[in-house]
Amino acid sequence: MSGDGTAAEVLALLERRGQTLAVAESLTGGLVAAELTAVDGASRSFRGSVTAYATDLKHELLGVDGALLAERGAVDAEVARQMARGVRRALGADWGVATTGVAGPTPQDGQPVGTVHVAVAGPSEAVAAAALRLEGDRAGIRGQSVRAAVKLLFSELIATAGAKDTEQHDEF
């Protein structure tokens, strides 16, 4: 697979596999879902999203450990992992993607602007996560976070690729 991890490539892989995706977003406020649903035919694989901007919603809707949120705040790698698992479970999807972080203009939970965590939970229950230190204004940080989340999902899909996926890589 030689693509660069666009939303269209992610959705094509998911459709080919007969798998589904759900998204949990905080700092991106629905932008990951918007990026995915801008692709024609996204509904064949995209189940939905939860924009859990408020910290208590991360616990109530996505099942993030309340003690973890109280101790570390919402801007944390393990919070992102739990959000990805939680949205996967809550929306009945094969894959879950999550974003949490600080887009600015001020720090949050003791974390500087540009601190972002993205995570992907897959069918095997394994969770991949990436910690990012991004530069730019609020819109720039949010946009970079969307791209990072989609690329992390693409990487995980490629890492778990079967023969059916690799046989058809010429489409990209």
The CATH number that applies at residue 149 is 3.90.950.20
**Residues 12 and 171: beta-carbon distance below 8 Å:** yes
Q: Is residue 41 part of a domain?
A: yes
Share the mean pLDDT of the chain: 93
User: What average pLDDT does this structure show over 152-166?
Assistant: 80
**Residues 25 and 51: beta-carbon distance below 8 Å:** yes
Read off φ and ψ for residue 35, nearest 5 degrees: -60, -45
Q: Is residue 20 part of a domain?
A: yes
The string of pLDDT tens digits covering residues 33-75 is: 999 999 999 999 999 999 999 999 999 999 999 999 999 999 9
pLDDT band at 24 (very low <50, low <70, confident <90, very high): very high
DSSP 129: E
Q: Is residue 172 part of a domain?
A: no
Q: Is residue 2 part of a domain?
A: no
Read off φ and ψ for residue 110, nearest 5 degrees: 75, 10
Number of structural domains (the chain) is 1
Read off φ and ψ for residue 33, nearest 5 degrees: -60, -40
Domain that holds residue 145: 7-166
User: Whole-model pTM?
Assistant: 0.92
Q: What stretches of the chain adopt beta strand conformation (E)?
A: 21-25, 46-51, 95-101, 115-121, 127-133
Distance CA(109)–CA(121), nearest Å, equals 24
Q: Is residue 1 part of a domain?
A: no
The string of pLDDT tens digits covering residues 92-125 is: 999 999 999 999 999 999 999 999 999 999 999 8
pLDDT band at 162 (very low <50, low <70, confident <90, very high): low
DSSP 136: S
Q: Is residue 171 part of a domain?
A: no
Q: Is residue 136 part of a domain?
A: yes
Q: Is residue 100 part of a domain?
A: yes
